[in-house]
Amino acid sequence: MTRLTIIRGGSADPTGTRGRSFRDAADQGALVRLTPGRFVDATEWRRATPGERHIARIKAVHDRIAPRLVVAHASAAALHGLPWRGEFPDVVEVIDPERSTTQSLTHVRKRPGRGRRLRTQYMIANGRRVTDLTSTVADLAISFELRLSVPALDVALAAGCVLADVRTEIEARGAVHGRHRAAVALELADGASGSPGESVARVALDEVGAPRPVLQRASHDDAGFIGRVDFWFPEQGVVLEFDGRTKYVDPALRRPGMSAADVVVTEKRREDRLRRHREVRGFGRFGWDEANDLDALRAVLRGVGVPTAPRSFRHVR
């Protein structure tokens, strides 16, 4: 984990010379300016993950915002280590217990919290309060598209978060806007998901009206354990695997001594055994391209014998 150190520049120098030197360094690409007078090293910034970069933004504004403000929504997701597609927002998201409307500032977005019972915990580093895991995923389900909220819900459930508690938290909110989207997110959420990529893939499967698959089903043959498959459609006898490329290109996910080529060969042998399995009548693969192109995904499903049908509701993104 990369810990980005906040560099404070300019405030202690009455001549302004030190502040100019930091601004010049930012202009030259040596520093990244997060807020006026708050910088991080550009090399470390590039090495950091999106979550680590957003946490640096939270630290940069901490002593400039009121103590009553509670870190929430996407910013709380970063602190809880929840998955996020792409970069986190450029602004730090907080809840203001005194506000009844949203206020968007340059570096902070204040969401309304008047009348809301806040479930919080304290950040160890600076004492700032942050919404707890249950409240955080409830906020994400209400406020963000399914392809962001469902992976976060899956990870939270796998970490011990209780779905009924999230549902209760959502039902306690007075706002109607976003509650239908949240209900769909809770319906799709499953702590058995193998990865955030598979969570997004499952949302895509639902968007095209595929049957709900069994996740991470263990398969065996006469020789023993074959492996767990990403998606199993029992009525059709179809195995569907989501290939996000990570298992092929990330050395951290390989067994010691295995090359990328070894992983490909092992995966092919596993696939061959699955195809020969007496219960398997079809086998297919899809990746990010198909997950982001629903017509292409329908074609994959049609090719392996998995039906699709229009949903009775429209996914809200």
Collapsed DSSP state (helix, strand, coil) of residue 317: coil
Lowest mean pLDDT among 55-64, 83-92, 247-256: 247-256
User: Comparing C-alpha atoms, which of 65, 66, 2, 58 is closest to residue 34?
Assistant: 58
What would the pLDDT profile of 26-52 be if each residue is shown by its tens digit?
Answer: 888 899 999 999 999 999 999 999 999
Whether residues 110 and 178 share a domain: the answer is yes
Q: Coil, helix or strand for 163?
A: helix
Q: In b/e form, how buried is each residue of 136-158, taking b as 16+ CB within 10 angstroms? A: bbbbbbbbbebbbbbbbbbbbbe
pTM of the entire predicted model: 0.86
Token digits of residue 103:
């206020």
Q: Are residues 154 and 274 in the same domain?
A: no
Angstrom CA distances, 221 to 8, 12, 258, 285, 294, stand at 61, 70, 25, 21, 33
Domain count for the chain: 2
Both 255 and 166 in one domain: the answer is no
Task: Give the confidence band of 255 by pLDDT, cuts at 50, 70, 90.
Answer: low
Residues 242 and 295 in one domain: yes
My answer on whether 86 and 216 are in the same domain is no
Kindly report, residue by residue over 49-84, the tens digit of the pLDDT.
999 999 999 999 999 999 999 999 999 999 999 999
Task: Indicate if 54 and 184 belong to the same structural domain.
Answer: yes
Domain assignment of residue 161, yes or no: yes
pLDDT given for residue 15 in this prediction: 43
Q: Looking at the predicted structure, is the pLDDT value of residue 251 above 60?
A: no
Both 217 and 287 in one domain: the answer is yes
Do 116 and 175 fall into the same domain? Answer: yes
Cα 183 to chain centroid distance, Å, stands at: 18
Paired residues of 213 in beta bridges? none
How far apart (Å, rounded) are the C-alpha atoms in residues 304 and 295? 15
**Same structural domain, 184 and 53:** yes
Considering the domain architecture, whether residues 59 and 104 belong to the same structural domain is answered as yes
Domain of 141 in residue numbering reads as: 49-188
- Decide: helix, strand or coil at residue 17: helix
Same domain, 122 and 70: yes
Q: What is the pLDDT of residues 178-201, one digit of tens each?
A: 889 999 999 999 999 999 999 999
